[in-house]
Amino acid sequence: MRFSIAGSLLLLCTLAGVVRAGDPPEAAKSGKAPAKPTYYEHVAPIVQERCQVCHRKGAVGPFSMTTYKETAGWAAMIEEVVETRRMPPWHADPKVNSFKNSRRLSDLERDTILNWVKAGAPKGDKAKAPPKKTWPDPKAWRIGTPDAIVEMPESFTVPATGVVPYQYWEVKTDFESDKWIQGIEVQIGATQVVHHVLIFVHYPNRRRSPRVRGGLQGYFASALPGDSIELFPEGSGKWLPKGSSLVFQVHYTPDGTKRVDRSKIGLKFATTKVERRVQTVALNQTRFSIPAGEPNHVVRGTYVFKEDKMLLAMLPHMHLRGKGFRYLLRRPDGSSLALLSVPRYDFNWQNAYRLKNPVFVPKGSKVIGVATFDNSDQNPANPDPTKTVRFGEQTWDEMMIGYMNVVDPTESQRAAYAKQQQTQK
C-alpha cells in the first residue's frame, strides 16, 4: 500500500495524539481535582494519555501501567515521581515557550494522581473506565511503506545488566541519485532496552560534509521515547546526497534480560519538487575547561543565521555534568526572545523540544546557547568531581551542542513577519 503525501500528513496528525502526548486537552487544564479520585474514572484516562506511551508491554518504561493492578502496585513510587515532576520526563521550563510534544502534566492531572494515592489508590467503578487505548504495532511503518530502509549493519546483543556505553555504527547508503527526504521513521529493534537512537549524516564530499565529530553537526534523525517520526510539509525536505553514510548512535539501558537489537531507519523520498530545505543546524562550543568541583560553570555557544529561517525544534546536548541549557534569539534589530529553558538537564533524556508555533528567525540573527555544568560532588551523575573536564566525545568528557531544526520560510510566513514588524514600529 502506498500513501499519498496528504494521506501521510493526515496520518501523522491522527498519530500525533497517539504517539506524542502533547499538551493536555483544554478541559483537562483547569478545574479542581476530586478529593477522592478513583482509578477507573479519574486516573486511568491520565495514565493512558501521559504514561502508557512508555509504560506498557514492550516499551521503554521499566514496568507496565495498563491495568489497575499494575498501576496501583506502584502507587507510592508514582506519588514520588509525579510530586517531584521526575515523570513524565520533560525538562523545559513551562514559562518559556510552548511545545507541541510537551509531556508536562497539568496541575489538574498532577493533583488527581496525588489525591488518588493519598486516598489509598481506590479502584472505583469499572463501568466508568475510558475505552482501552490501542497502540500502533511497532513493526508497522507509520509513515507508509518506506522507499528505502537503512539498517544497522549487525545485530547488537544488549547484556542483561550493567551500563552500556553509547554504541555507534556507520552505514553507507547506495541510492543511485541525490535524494530529498520527505518522511523519516526510526524503528527500534529491542524496544525494551533502546532508550534512544540518534542518526547523523556524513556526506560523501568530506569538505562539504557537516563536522560530525562527536555529533557537533550532521544530526539527521532520531528515535526518542514516543517520538520517532518526522514528516515534512509538501515542498520541503531534508537533503541526502548520493553516497552519504548514516551513523547510528544508540543508547541502551539493560532491563534484566539479555536482548538483541537491530534498529533501522525508513525513508520516504519527496515526490514533488522540494524548494524549502529542512536542516538541522547547531550552535556549539568546543573550547572550554570546567574546573574540578565547580558547581555552576557557564559555557556559551552561538549560531549566526545567514538566511531567513523558521525555527521548528531544539535539542540540547551535553554529557553527565550537564546541568542547564537555554536558547536565546537575538535579532539584528536588537530585540531578543527566550526560545527554550531547560533548568534541570538530564543526559539520559535526549528530548527534542518541538515548538507549537515555529519562530521566524530573520537573516543576521544570532541564537545564543547558554549551558551550565555541575562538576561538583553534588551532581550524582558526575563520574569524577576531582577532574578538570574539557570537550570530548566520551561520556566522561563534555559536549555543548544546541541542535536546531530549521526550514526556509514560505512567502506567507515572510509576509506575516514583515507585517508584525510594521505594527511594532
Residue 350 and residue 224 in contact, taking contact as beta carbons nearer than 8 Å: yes
How many other CB atoms are there within 10 angstroms of residue 225's CB atom?
A: 21
Smallest distance from ligand HEC to CB 346, Å: 8
Contacting ligand HEC within 201-240 (CB under 6 A): 225-226
What is the amino acid identity at position 251? H
How many other CB atoms are there within 10 angstroms of residue 5's CB atom?
A: 19
Q: Measured from the CB atom, is 118 or 363 closer to ligand HEC?
A: 118
Smallest distance from ligand HEC to CB 349, Å: 7
Smallest distance from ligand HEC to CB 15, Å: 16
C-alpha cell read off for 25: 486537552
What is the rounded CA–CA span in Å between residue 293 and residue 375?
5
**Single residue of 89, 183, 218, 402 touching ligand HEC by CB under 6 A:** 89
What is the amino acid identity at position 381? A
What is the rounded CA–CA span in Å between residue 147 and residue 108?
44
**Single residue of 87, 121, 340, 352 touching ligand HEC by CB under 6 A:** 87
Residue 314 and residue 340 in contact, taking contact as beta carbons nearer than 8 Å: yes
Smallest distance from ligand HEC to CB 46, Å: 7
Residue 116 and residue 38 in contact, taking contact as beta carbons nearer than 8 Å: yes
Q: Measured from the CB atom, is 218 or 225 closer to ligand HEC?
A: 225
Where does this chain touch ligand HEC (CB under 6 A) — which range of 71-79, 256-264, 312-320, 361-369? 71-79
**Single residue of 5, 33, 43, 54 touching ligand HEC by CB under 6 A:** 54
Smallest distance from ligand HEC to CB 100, Å: 15
**Single residue of 7, 17, 62, 136 touching ligand HEC by CB under 6 A:** 62
Overall size of the chain counted in residues: 425
CA dihedral (14, 18, 21, 27) positive or negative: positive
What is the rounded CA–CA span in Å between residue 266 and residue 150?
7
**Single residue of 19, 28, 60, 311 touching ligand HEC by CB under 6 A:** 60
C-alpha cell read off for 210: 557537516
- Does 88 bind ligand HEC (CB under 6 A)? Our answer is yes
Residue 254 and residue 158 in contact, taking contact as beta carbons nearer than 8 Å: yes
Q: Measured from the CB atom, is 347 or 417 closer to ligand HEC?
A: 347
List residues binding ligand HEC (CB under 6 A): 50-51, 53-55, 60-62, 74, 77-78, 81-82, 87-89, 103, 225-226, 348
